[in-house]
Structure 1
Amino acid sequence: MNTMLDLIIEGGAVIDGTGAPRRQADVGIAGDRIVRLGDLTNVPARERFDARGRVVAPGFIDVHTHDDRLLLDAPAGPHPKLSQGVTTVVTGNCGISLAPLQAVATPPAPLDLLGTDAWRFGSFGDYLDELEQTGPAVNAACLVGHSTLRVRRMDRLDRAATAHEERLMALDLAIALEAGAIGMSTGLYYPPAKAASTDEVIAVGAPLTSARGVITMHIRDEGDAIDSALREALLIGRALGIDTVLSHHKLVGKANHGRSVETLAMIEEASRNQSVCLDCYPYNASSTMLLPGRVAQSDDVRVTWSKADPSAAGRSLFALARERGVAPEELAQTLQPAGAIYFAMSEDDVSRILQHPLTMVGSDGLAHDVSPHPRLWGTFPRVLGHYVRERRILALEQAVHKMTGLSAARFGLAGRGVLAESAHADVVVFDEATVSGTASFENPTAVSTGILAVFVNGKLACRNGRTVDVHAGRVLRHGRSE
C-alpha cells in the first residue's frame, strides 16, 4: 500500500546535482525529505506540482555571501536569494562576520558592508540562536571572520597580532566552532587584516584542524602580486590541514588579463596534494568598499553607496569626477565611507575560471548597498541563461553541479545539494528556455525570470519570484545533523 506523500513534483526533467545526465522522474516529498524518485503516478499525495517541460534540480547553494544580516531581516518584497533559486547560503566571507562583535560605533570598513546597527552579538552562538529563533528564509551555514576577530581583540589593526591576541582570537574561533560555525574566512586584502602575518592566520585558525572546519580566503592580492598571494593561501591551508576555498577567484587590472591560465594551473597542481577549490561569480566586474587605489586599474567605477554623498549611488565615479572637475581618485576619497563596482576584469578569465572543474558558484552580493552589483539578484539564473543557454560554455548538468552537489560536498553540507532519497527537500523548478538573470548594472534589483518554484526543506518558499514563505530555512550547524 502506498503511503500518502506531502508533495509530488511530477513530470519534470530531474538534474540531480551530481553531474549525471537528466532523467524523467517524479520527486516525492514527505515532511522535509525527499523519499522517492521515479514514476509516482499512482502514489497518493496531498499536493502535486506540475513540472512537465521544466527542469527539477536541487536548490542552489550560494557559497560566497555577505548575508549575515539579511538572514535576520528578510525583505518585505521579493527576496534576492529565493527569487533566483537559492535555498542555502554560506555567510561570513572575506574575513567579515556579524559575530562575535559588540560595537557601539560603526566598525571599520569593510565590516560596515553588513550595515552599521546590528553589531550586537557577543558570541557566535548568540547569533546562530537568534537566526534559529527568527527562522531564516534560506538555510544558513556560517563562517567566522578573521577580520571581525581582529577588531574584537586588537587595539590597533595596523600591526600583526601579539601571541596573546592570537590566543584570544583562536579561543573565540574554537567557541564559535563549538556553537556551530563551519569554519573561518580571511580578508587579508582589506585594511583591518592587511597587517596580519601568515603565521598569525595559522595560529588563529588552529582550532579548525581538530574541528575539521573549512577556511575560505579572500587572498592578499588579486592583481600584480596574485602569485605570491595564492602561495600564501595554499600554505595556510596546508599548515592547518583543512579544506581551503579560494574566494571569488579573479584577475584585476588590464596587465593581468589572461593570467587565469597560470593561476588555475597553480591551483590545480596544489589540489594534487591538498584539498583546495575556488568559487567565482559570473560577471566581469567586482564590488567592495570604494578604494582610491583601485580606480586607476578600472575601465569604469560605479558608486554603490556613499555616506558623505548619497546622491552618488548608482553613478559612474569617472563621470561624476568630470562633472565636478576633480580627479577620480580625489573624488573617491571625498565620498568615504562608500562602496563601488569596479570594471577591471576580463570576460575570458571569468569564462575560463567558471568552466574549471574545481570552481563553484557564489554571488558575493552585498545586500545593504543602495545600488548593488547585479550579482546579488541575478548570479544563478545568469549562469543558466548566459553561460549555458546562450554561450554554451557549460552543459546544464555541469552548471547545476557547480551550484549544488559540488558546493555541498566541499562545505560538508550533508544531505544538501542533491536530489536523492533521504536528502533534504531543497528543490528548484526552472524553465531552461527562459531562465535569465535580468538584474543589470542599470537595474540591479530586477527579479530573475524562469525560476518557477523554490522549495526549502519541503516548503514552497517562492513562486515565480514572489515570496511565499520567508521562514522555511534552517541554521546548518557544523558537525550536527539537520
Structure 2
Amino acid sequence: MSTGASFDLVIRGAAVADGLGAPLAIADVAVRGDRIVAVGEVAGRGGVEIDGAGKVLAPGFIDVHTHDDWAVLAEPQHACKVLQGCTSIVVGNCGTSIAPGGEQVVARGGGFESIGAYLEALDNDPASVNTAALVGHGSVRTSVIGLRDNRPATEGELSAMRALVERAMVDGAVGLSSGLIYEPGKYAPEAELVALAGVAAAAGALYTTHMRNEGVGLLDSIAETVRLAEQTGVRVQISHHKASGRGAWGLVTQSLALIDAACAAGLDVMADQYPYTRGSTLLEQIVRAGELHGFGPEGDLTPAQVLIGAAPHHPEWEGRTLTELAEEWGCDGRAAADRVVAEEGRGCIVVLDTMTEADVETVMAHPSTLIGSDGIPLGGKPHPRLHHTFPRVLGHYAREKGVFSLETAISRMTGLSARRFGLADRGEVREGAYADLVLFDPDVIADTGTFTDPTTVPAGIDRVWVNGVCVAADGEHTGARPGRALRFSR
C-alpha cells in the first residue's frame, strides 16, 4: 500500500454488479489485500485509483466447466481464461480428472496420486486463476478397474472406488464428475454411479455429469440423472446441456421441463452451457462410437461437420474438415477419420457442427443454466469457446439478442456459480468477499474469435483482478500469478 493511502485499490464510479442479479448500482469499490473492504462512496484514497465511469465492475467470471487440469500447471498464466475475465475455474469435468492417477500413471508423470496432491501443487506453484477440482469417475474407475474393461465392478472394486472418492472429498474436491459417453464411464451401470454419487452427497458436494446421450436419447439421459438424485439426494449439475444432432433438435423444451419437475419434487438439479451451436470432443470417441456410420448419440453426423481443432503430430490438418482431408487423400470421410485417429490417437480434438441456435437460446434463458466454457486447451485451432465464452454471453446473448438481462447473465457466471460449487466468498462484489473482479465496457464487450481464428483477445475488457492483484490490463496479461487452489466449502 502506498504511503498515505487507505486502500490498495479503489475503483470509482463503476456500475457495480453484485453477482446475484441485483440491478447495477453506481458505486466505488475499495480493496485491501485480497478482500473487498468497502462498497459505496469511498472517501479514502487507494494506492491504485481506477476510473470506472461508464464501465461495469463485476465479480470475476467463474468457469464451472473446464478441462484445464494440466494447463494451469503447464501454462500457469492461463491467458485464454484471464483475458476473457475469468478469475476462477473448475477442473476435472466429464469424468476425467488429473487425480487419482493410479501408481503407474503417477510414476510416469501422467497424474497425481490424489486431489489433495494436485491442489498442493497449485498452492506451491500458483496459476493466474483460482482453481477448484472435481474428482472424475472415469479416472477413479480407470485406476481401479481399467480404461476399457466393459463390466460391472466387483464388490471389492466398488469399495476401492468409494474410498478414492471419499479421499477426494476430504481433500477438498467440489464434487464427483462423470463422462458416461466416454470410456470407461459408459461401462458403469447405474448402481455404480449411485454408490459413488452417494459419497459426494454425504459431503454436501456436487455430482456433475456428461450424460450418456445428448442426442435423440437426451430425455432418457435426463431421467437416469434424476433417478440418481432421487436415490442419493446428491445435488446434480448436468454438463453442457444441449440437444446434439438434427434428430434431437427441439428436445431441450422437454428436457428443461424434466429439470423443472425434478426441482418441484424437491430435488436439486441444475445445468451449465457453452454459448455455441458447435461442440468439441475427441475424434477417437466419435470413431469408436460409430458416429460417422450412423450410430452413436448424434446418429446423423457427417464428415463435413467434423473440423480438426488439434492434431499435435500434424498441425497442418488443423482448421480442416474430414471432408477436405478425404478429398486430398482420395478416400471417403470415414477412412480419413480412421487415418487421423491412427496417427494422432487420443490427441486429436475436433469441433462438431451439431446444434441449433434456437435450442442454445432456450437453454440459456432457463434459470437452471450456469455458464461454462467446456474449452479444451489443445491445438492451434481450438473451439473459440476456450477464449471467448464469457464475452460472447454478455455481448451477443445479453446485449444483442436480449436472451436475459446483463445482471442475470453476470449472476449465472459469478455468484450463483460460486454458491453452486462451494467456493466461499467468491463471485460477489460485497464487503468481505475476495477481490476477484473484472471491469468491462458493456457496450463493447464481445467475442472476437472465429472457428478459423479462435485465439484472439476478446473486446471490451479493461482490467481483471484475482485476489486483489491485477492480472490483465487492456487486453494484455500482467504476468502476475496470484491464483489459489480452492477447496470445497459447504
Structure 2 length normalisation: TM-score? 0.92
**How far off is 1:335 after superposition?**
0.8
1:327 aligned partner: 332
Task: Tell me the amino acid that sits aligned with residue 67 of structure 2.
Answer: H
Cα shift readout 1:132-176 (whole Å, capped 9, x = no counterpart): 100121111100000001111114522222221111111011111
Find the aligned partners of 1:27 and 1:178 in 2 and give their Cα distance.
Answer: 35
Match in the other structure for 1:297 = 301
Determine the structure 1 residue equivalent to 2:175: 183
Matches within 5 A, 1:43-192: 43-74=44-75, 79-102=79-102, 118-155=109-146, 156-192=148-184
> CA offsets per residue over residues 55-100 of structure 1, 9 Å max, x none?
1001001010011111112266x70000000011111000010111
Flag the 1:228–1:34 CA change in 2: closer, same or farther, 3 A.
same
**Do the aligned residues in 2 keep the contact of 1:69 with 1:118 (CA within 8 Å)?**
no
Match of 1:269 in 2: 261
1:249 is aligned to 241
What TM-score, normalized to structure 1?
Answer: 0.93
Letter in structure 1 aligned against 2:310:
W
Answer yes or no: is the 8 Å Cα contact 1:82–1:465 preserved in 2.
no
CA change 1:105–1:29 in 2 (3 A) is closer
1:13 is aligned, of 12, 15, 22, to 15
CA contact (8 A) 2:76 2:481 kept: no
CA contact (8 A) 1:170 1:205 kept: no
CA distance in 2, matches of 1:44, 1:310: 52
Which residue in 1 is equivalent to 2:196? 204
Partners of 1:249 and 1:353 within 8 A in 2: yes
**What is the CA distance between 1:308 and its match in structure 2?**
6.2
Counterpart Cα distance in 2 of 1:413 and 1:240: 23
| Alignment match, 1:110 | none
Q: Secondary structure at the match of 2:39?
A: strand
User: Relative to 1, partners in 2 of residues 1:70 and 1:470: Cα closer, same or farther, differing over 3 Å?
Assistant: farther
Q: Which moved more, 1:58-67 or 1:367-376?
A: 367-376
Unaligned runs of 5+ in 1: 108-116
Give yes or no for the alignment of 1:359 onto 2:351.
Answer: no
Match of 1:230 among 210, 213, 222: 222
Structure 1 residue 239: Cα displacement: 1.9
Take 1:406 and 1:47, find their aligned partners in 2: how far apart are those partners?
29
The answer to whether the Cα contact below 8 Å between 1:167 and 1:203 also exists between their aligned partners in 2 is no
Identity of aligned residues (%): 40
- State how many pairs are aligned: 468
Taking the aligned partners of 1:424 and 1:212, their CA distance within structure 2 comes to 23
User: What residue in structure 1 maps to residue 391 of structure 2?
Assistant: 381
Alpha-carbon distance in structure 1 between the residues aligned to 2:218 and 2:443: 38
- The reply on whether 1:240 has 2:241 as its aligned counterpart is no
Corresponding letter in the other structure for 1:69: W
Q: For structure 1, which segment, 411-420 or 95-104, has the greater mean C-alpha deviation from structure 2 after superposition?
A: 95-104
Is the CA contact (8 Å cut-off) linking 1:74 and 1:470 kept in structure 2? no
Cα distance, 1:319–1:58 mapped onto 2, change above 3 Å: same
Please say if 1:36 is aligned against 2:38: yes
CA deviations 1:394-429 (Å, max 9, x no partner) are 211111111111111211212111111111111100
- Between the aligned partners of 1:159 and 1:102, the Cα distance in structure 2 is 19
Letter in 2 for 1:38: G
Equivalent of 2:440 in 415, 430, 436: 430
CA apart distance, 1:15: 1.2
CA contact (8 A) 1:34 1:425 kept: yes
Q: Which amino acid aligns with 2:258?
A: M
Contact 2:106 2:112 in 1 (8 A): no
Worse-matched range after superposition: 234-243 or 178-187: 234-243
Note closer, same or farther for the CA distance 1:236–1:368 as it changes in structure 2 (3 Å cut): same
Give unpaired runs (5+ residues) of structure 2: 293-299
Residue 123 of structure 1 contacts residue 176 of structure 1 at CA under 8 Å; is this kept in 2?
yes
Q: 1-side partners of 2:25 and 2:128: how far apart?
A: 30
Q: What code does the residue aligned with 1:95 have?
A: G
Partner Cα separation in structure 2 for residue 348 and residue 162 of structure 1: 44
